[in-house]
Amino acid sequence: MSLFNSAFIQVQNGLMDDDASFDREWKRVYLKQSGFQVIWSEIKTFYPSDFCQHLDDVQKTLEGTT
């Protein structure tokens, strides 16, 4: 998660393209997994609120997709 948070910060600061394939791919694959969701619910309080909100927003867009 620290790597993904770092990528999020880099995108916010214009240091990385927000459409980077690794960033897009991990979201598509992992956010849907029930194991990820359980762990994320336990550790999300340790991360900045804007990063948490971003993941929540992405997860909502993925709901119902295959």
- CA-nearest of 65, 42, 63 to 52 is 42
What is the number of domains present in the chain?
1
Domain ranges, residue 49: 2-62
| Vertex 62 angle, CA 58 and 63, to 5° | 120
Residue range 55-65, pLDDT digits in tens: 888 888 877 66
Residue range 20-54, pLDDT digits in tens: 666 677 777 888 888 988 999 999 999 999 999 98
Write out the H or E segment, with its range, that includes residue 19.
none
